[in-house]
Chains A and B, each alone.
Chain A
Amino acid sequence: MNIAVALLAPQGRRRDLPGDLAMWFFIFAELLVFGVLFLAYAFARARNVELFNASQLELDRISGAINTALLITSSYFVVRAVDRIRHGASRACVHWLAAAMACGGAFLVLKLVEFGAKFDAGITMSTNTFFMFYIGLGFFHFMHVVLGMVILGAVALKAWQGGYSAADHTGVETGASYWHMVDLVWIVLFPLVYVLR
Chain B
Amino acid sequence: MKYQSQAVAKPYFIAAIGLFVGQIVFGLIMGLQYVVGDFLFPAIPFNVARMVHTNLLIVWLLFGFMGAAYYLIPEESERELYSPKLAMLMFWIFLIAGAVTILGYLFVPYAKLAEMTGNDLLATMGREFLEQPLPTKVGIVIVALAMLFNLSMTVLRGRKTAINLVMLLGLWGLAIFFLFSFYNPANLVKDKFYWWWVVHLWVEGVWELIMGAMLAFVLIKVTGVDREVIEKWLYVIIAMALITGLIGMGHHYYWIGTPSYWQWWGSVFSALEPIPFFMMTLFAFNMVNRRRREHPNKAAVLWALGTGVMAFLGAGVWGFLHTLAPVNFYTHGSQITAAHGHMAFYGAYVMVVITMISYTMPLMRGRAANSKTAQVVEMWSFWLMTVAMVFITLFLTAAGTLQIWLQRIAAEPMGFMAAQDQVALFYWMREISGLVFFVGLVLYITSFFIKGKEAPAD
Verify whether A and B have any Cβ pair under 8 Å. yes
Q: How far is the CA of A29 from the CA of B268 in the complex (A)?
A: 12
Q: Is the CB of B240 within 8 A of A29?
A: yes
Q: Does A40 contact B (CB under 8 A)?
A: yes
Q: Is B267 an interface residue (CB 8 A)?
A: yes
B232 lies within 8 A of A125 (CB): no
Residue B239 at the chain A interface, CB threshold 8 Å = yes
Cβ of A40: which chain B residues have Cβ within 8 Å of it? 264, 267-268
Q: Which of B232, B264, B265, B271 contacts A22 (CB 8 A)?
A: B232
Q: For chain B residues 255-288, which have a beta carbon within 8 Å of chain A?
A: 259-261, 264-265, 267-269, 271-272, 275
Task: Check if B409 is an interface residue, CB within 8 A of chain A.
Answer: no
Q: Tell which of A22, A32, A126 touches B261, judged by Cβ atoms closer than 8 Å.
A: A126
Tell me if A132 and B272 are in contact (CB < 8 A): no
Contact residues of A between 114 and 132, Cβ < 8 Å to B: 125-126, 132
A148 to B323 alpha-carbon distance, docked (Å) = 31
Q: In the complex, which residue of chain B has the Cβ closest to the Cβ of A137?
A: B264
Residues of A close to B269: CB separation below 8 A: 33
Chain B residues closer than 8 Å to A126, beta-carbon distance: 259-261
B244 contacts the other chain (CB 8 A): yes
The answer to the question of B196 belonging to the interface, with a C-beta cut-off of 8 Å to chain A, is no
Distance from A148 Cβ to chain B, minimum over Cβ atoms (Å): 16
- Give the chain A neighbours of B264 by CB distance below 8 A: 37, 40, 44, 132-133, 136
By size class, the interface of chain A is: 10 to 19
CB pair B236 A25 closer than 8 Å: yes
Q: Is A36 an interface position by the 8 A CB rule?
A: yes
* Bound-state Cα–Cα, A133 to B265, Å: 10
Complex CA gap A31/B115 in Å reads 53
Cβ of B95 under 8 Å from chain A: no
Task: Let me know if B363 is at the binding interface, CB within 8 A.
Answer: no
A136 and B261 contacting across the interface, CB-CB below 8 Å: yes
**Given A126-B260, A126-B261: A36 touches B268 (CB 8 Å cut-off):** yes
Once the chains are docked, how many angstroms separate the CA of A25 from the CA of B259? 31
Known contacts: A33-B268, A36-B272, A40-B268. The answer to whether A25 contacts B261 by CB under 8 A is: no
Q: What residue of chain B has the Cβ atom nearest to residue A41's Cβ?
A: B264
Known A32-B272, A33-B272; contact A25-B239, beta-carbon cutoff 8 A: yes
> Which of A25, A29, A44, A136 lies in contact with B265, CB distance below 8 A?
A136
Q: Give every chain B residue within 8 A of A32 (Cβ-Cβ).
A: 272, 275
Asked if A29 meets B261 with Cβ closer than 8 Å, knowing A22-B232, A40-B267, the reply is: no
Chain B residues within 8 Å of chain A by Cβ, number: 18
Nearest B-chain residue to A32, judged by Cβ: B272
Contacts of A133 in B (CB 8 A): 264
The interface centre, meaning the residue of B239, B259, B261, B267 with most chain A CB atoms within 10 A of its CB, is B261
Taking CB atoms, residues of chain B closer than 8 Å to A26 are 239, 243
B271 touches A36 (CB 8 A): yes
- In whole angstroms, what is the CA distance A44 to B265 when docked? 13
The reply on B34 being an interface residue by CB < 8 A is no
Task: Note all chain A residues with C-beta closer than 8 A to B271.
Answer: 36
Residues of B within 8 A of A22 (CB): 232, 235-236
CB–CB A25/B240 < 8 A: yes
| Residues from chain A with Cβ under 8 Å of B232 in the complex | 22
Residues of A near B235 (CB, < 8 A) are: 22
Chain A residue with Cβ nearest B276:
A29
Quote the shortest CB–CB distance from B211 to chain A (angstroms).
19
Complex: how many Å from CA A40 to CA B265? 10
Within 8 A of A (CB), among B210-263: 232, 235-236, 239-240, 243-244, 259-261
Question: Considering the chains assembled together, what is the distance between the CA atoms of A37 and B260 in angstroms?
Answer: 16
Residue from A44, A125, A126, A133 having most chain B Cβ neighbours under 10 A: A125
Contact B243 A29 (CB under 8 A): yes
Q: Please, which residues of chain B bring their CB within 8 A of the CB of A25?
A: 236, 239-240
**What 1/0 flags go to A26-65 for Cβ under 8 Å of B?**
1001001100110010001000000000000000000000
- Kindly provide the distance from the CB of A20 to the nearest chain B CB, expressed in whole angstroms: 10
Nearest CB on A from B208, distance (A): 15
Taken residue by residue from 1 to 42, chain A's Cβ proximity to chain B (1 for < 8 Å, 0 otherwise) reads as 000000000000000000000100110010011001100100
B contact set with A: CB distance below 8 Å: 232, 235-236, 239-240, 243-244, 259-261, 264-265, 267-269, 271-272, 275
Given contacts A26-B243, A29-B272, A136-B261, 16 further A-B contacts (CB under 8 A): A26-B239, A29-B240, A33-B268, A33-B269, A36-B268, A36-B271, A37-B264, A40-B264, A40-B268, A44-B264, A125-B261, A126-B259, A126-B261, A132-B264, A133-B264, A136-B265
